[in-house]
Amino acid sequence: MSFIGTQQKCKACAKTVYPVEELSADGVAYHKSCFKCSHCKGTLKLSNYSSMEGVLYCKPHFEQLFKETGNFNKNFQSPAKSAEKLTPELTRSPSKAVGMFSGTQEKCATCGKTAYPLEKVTVESQTYHKSCFKCSHGGCPITPSNYAALEGILYCKHHFSQLFKEKGSYNHLIKSATIKRAAASVSLNENTLSLLIIQLTGPILESLSKTNYTPPESPSALSVKSALESYLSFNTTPNLQNFTLAIALILSSSSPPPSPHQSLSWIPNHLRIAATSALEDFSREYIAVFGDENSKTIGGYFGISGEAKRLVLEVMLDAVPLLKERIKESSIGKGDENDEVLASSARVPVGYAIMAAYQFRWFVTQVEYPHLGKFCNLVIPCALTALDHWSPEGQGMISFIHLAQNVNAAELDLYKDVILDACCQNIASSDEIWHLVVEMSVLLVSSIQRTNPRSPWVERMLNEMLSHLDRQPRNKERCIAWLKFIEPLFNVAGLVLLAHFRRIFPLFFKWMHSDSDEIVLLVLKRVHTVIRLTWIRNTPCIERLVDELVVLYEEAALKRSREEIRTYVLQILTVLQQCKGMQFEAAWDKHRDDPNLTTPGAWLSGRNTLNLIAVGAGQLEQSNHQTSTEPLPTQ
């Protein structure tokens, strides 16, 4: 019996080919199961195969090889080799049970999720879900026998040919494939960060659940604790913006004066510590993953130090417009028709606006000079909305104070008139936030109008403040706030202060005899500033000023700060003597023989005068530096 068939070997696998399983092509024998495309491993037929140098291809991939390389002398680019295994393979063969579940180890090349045996398709050593195995250009369904692939991106035969004809090459497809792979990498990184957010919110939610909280009595009022829980409870994919807004709300409860709003006063310190820790941990990971991408997104601002601040800067771009709308929802304004007053607060609880204002203030104060100036167009509209809101909260003012201290005049120029008008409108405010109004107004006008002492804004600002003080001259809190922060505005006004002497000095004379040592010392410092800037020219205040200073010198014997007060009085008297000459001597003559004024008389007669001026000027310079806050210089 003859066994001729056993002498033939399969071209593909080199094993014996028996007659029952033999298939001959171009005079070469193959097993029917080995007669496959060398690129896609799809089974071939004698009617649809192509061959080059003994290598089999299906017709679609044979054509693709020519279009990709321009000839048939090269093979397809081989897929990237897998990384070397770090541990040696087990020598024991796997059990049947392991083999049954081996499919769960494979991931879909498109979506990155597990591809189980019943739903997977394998081509070119890559595994796909059947639902994911489709043309990336048109979404067309494809099969292993009619697909094309370039740089790991799938196409149907029709679109692959069409895209080649559009450009005459595949260069644009290779570039597109590179972008898609980068996007897939970002998607995987985002999944990692999403899991990290869930992990980090756990301790915060646990701490929040243990914190005592009394809900508001009104059923329509906002429950801040519920709002925090909604920010941190992720029903679907974790949201970076909500996570950061929750952190901002918690950390903003440690507000600078005035004290936090009652709706936030319940937040304990241990909750703020947990929020701070979560922010630091997440921002460290976020910058490590997306650092390069973020540096391109925000241009030249990548030089910000600290991962948390860089993360805040990214989230601000989307969060600030959202917070602006939230504040505006409960504002009061005028409608277009008949100037009717519209109070949307009847529909939206004011608690949402207060919460958004605190979050906004926290975002703004995390960014400093010189980076904050680049975001004025984003920050200032929201700050103005917070400033105009009817609720008596100072978060918009604190935001503007931070802006004035970290932004130069050129960056504020676009909004200067709107900002200064808002400052003037807010001068008539409640006692709790008046110190913020004064500090904000003085810093902004002295920054924007630094070189224009005759600006109508300088005059209007002074008149508004003096009118307000005239109505309440005995209000100590307002007096201290004004005296403490007004110095930069005096420096801008300069000689223009002469036009306001009739309103300024009567207030000075009243405050000089206050029972508060702090007020007396602040008044003396501001009097010295006025004398230095104006040289007290052409004014009838000299005689009254000398009399009031003499009385204050005698009253100082009963005050705790008597030495400091008397030093300032002597220094001011000496400067008056030098700048006014005969007019001062005429005013001093009536006090020259007073036995209680022997020390001032000795100083004014010329003994140790220079020493007094040096000592007094040094003290005033040091105190002025401590009590005045200057805005950034104009650039």
Residue 530 is encoded by which pair of tokens?
């006025």
Whether residue 365 has pLDDT greater than 60: yes
- For position 503, what pLDDT does the model report? 93
Tokens 């898609």 correspond to what residue?
Answer: 180
- Which residue would you say has higher pLDDT here, 336 or 578? 578
272, 205 Cβ separation under 8 angstroms? no
Whether residue 182 has pLDDT greater than 80: no
Q: What architecture does CATH give domain 419-635?
A: Alpha Horseshoe (1.25)
Q: Each residue of 53-79: pLDDT tens digit?
A: 778 888 777 777 665 554 555 455 443
Question: pLDDT band at 601, cuts 50/70/90?
Answer: confident
Whether residue 442 has pLDDT greater than 80: yes
Question: pLDDT band at 265, cuts 50/70/90?
Answer: confident
- Which residue would you say has higher pLDDT here, 324 or 166? 324
Q: Which of 34-38, 102-106, 535-539 is predicted most confidently?
A: 34-38
- Which residue would you say has higher pLDDT here, 50 or 298? 50
Whether residue 133 has pLDDT greater than 50: yes
User: Lowest-confidence range among 91-100, 167-176, 212-221, 281-290?
Assistant: 91-100
CA 474/CA 515 separation, integer angstroms:
11
| Beta strands in 558-615, from DSSP E residues, in sequence order | none
Q: Each residue of 369-404: pLDDT tens digit?
A: 888 888 999 999 999 999 887 665 689 999 999 999
Overall average pLDDT of the 456-476 stretch: 93
134, 141 Cβ separation under 8 angstroms? yes
Helix or strand holding residue 99 (H, E)? helix 96-100
Helix or strand holding residue 341 (H, E)? strand 341-343
Arithmetic mean of pLDDT over the chain: 78
- For position 291, what pLDDT does the model report? 59
The answer to whether 4-69 and 102-184 have equal CATH topology is yes
Residue 612 is encoded by which pair of tokens?
């007094």
| Residues 6+ positions from 24 with CB-CB distance below 8 Å | 30
CA 523/CA 507 separation, integer angstroms:
9
Q: What architecture does CATH give domain 102-184?
A: Ribbon (2.10)
DSSP letters for 415-435: GHHHHHHHHHHTSS--HHHHH
- Which residue would you say has higher pLDDT here, 356 or 539? 356
Peptide bond into 370 cis (omega under 30): yes
Whether residue 483 has pLDDT greater than 50: yes
Handedness of CA 226, 228, 230, 233 (dihedral sign): negative
Helices (H), 449-516: 456-471, 476-485, 487-493, 501-511
- For position 342, what pLDDT does the model report? 44
Question: pLDDT band at 569, cuts 50/70/90?
Answer: very high
Whether residue 607 has pLDDT greater than 50: no
CA 244/CA 508 separation, integer angstroms:
48
User: Lowest-confidence range among 49-63, 155-169, 465-479, 560-574?
Assistant: 155-169
Question: pLDDT band at 14, cuts 50/70/90?
Answer: confident
- For position 627, what pLDDT does the model report? 45
Overall average pLDDT of the 439-446 stretch: 96
- For position 281, what pLDDT does the model report? 87
Q: Each residue of 509-557: pLDDT tens digit?
A: 999 999 999 999 999 999 999 999 988 766 678 889 999 999 999 999 9
Q: Each residue of 117-128: pLDDT tens digit?
A: 778 888 877 888
CA 526/CA 486 separation, integer angstroms:
8
- For position 144, what pLDDT does the model report? 83
Question: pLDDT band at 333, cuts 50/70/90?
Answer: low
Query: Could you tell me the residue ranges of all domains in the chain?
Result: 4-69, 102-184, 192-407, 419-635
406, 632 Cβ separation under 8 angstroms? yes
Amino acid at 144: P
Overall average pLDDT of the 495-521 stretch: 94
Whether residue 306 has pLDDT greater than 90: no
Tokens 């860089």 correspond to what residue?
Answer: 310
Question: pLDDT band at 467, cuts 50/70/90?
Answer: very high
Overall average pLDDT of the 21-39 stretch: 84
Whether residue 247 has pLDDT greater than 80: yes
Whether residue 86 has pLDDT greater than 90: no
- Which residue would you say has higher pLDDT here, 54 or 347? 54
By percentage, how much of the chain surpasses pLDDT 70? 75
The dihedral region occupied by 106, where left means phi > 0, alpha psi between -120 and 50, and beta the remainder, is beta
Question: pLDDT band at 461, cuts 50/70/90?
Answer: very high
User: Lowest-confidence range among 97-101, 106-110, 253-257, 439-443?
Assistant: 97-101
The CATH number of domain 4-69, selected from 3.30.43.10, 2.10.110.10, 2.60.40.10, 3.90.220.20: 2.10.110.10
317, 290 Cβ separation under 8 angstroms? no
- For position 230, what pLDDT does the model report? 87
Overall average pLDDT of the 71-99 stretch: 41
CA 257/CA 264 separation, integer angstroms:
14
Question: pLDDT band at 232, cuts 50/70/90?
Answer: confident
Whether residue 320 has pLDDT greater than 90: yes
Tokens 């054509």 correspond to what residue?
Answer: 63
Whether residue 149 has pLDDT greater than 70: yes
Question: pLDDT band at 628, cuts 50/70/90?
Answer: very low
Tokens 């004066």 correspond to what residue?
Answer: 257
- For position 16, what pLDDT does the model report? 85
By percentage, how much of the chain surpasses pLDDT 90? 31
- Which residue would you say has higher pLDDT here, 448 or 154? 448
- For position 126, what pLDDT does the model report? 83
- For position 80, what pLDDT does the model report? 36
- For position 513, what pLDDT does the model report? 93
- For position 608, what pLDDT does the model report? 46
Q: How many CB atoms lie within 10 A of CB 417?
A: 11
Whether residue 336 has pLDDT greater than 80: no
- Which residue would you say has higher pLDDT here, 67 or 489? 489
Whether residue 508 has pLDDT greater than 80: yes
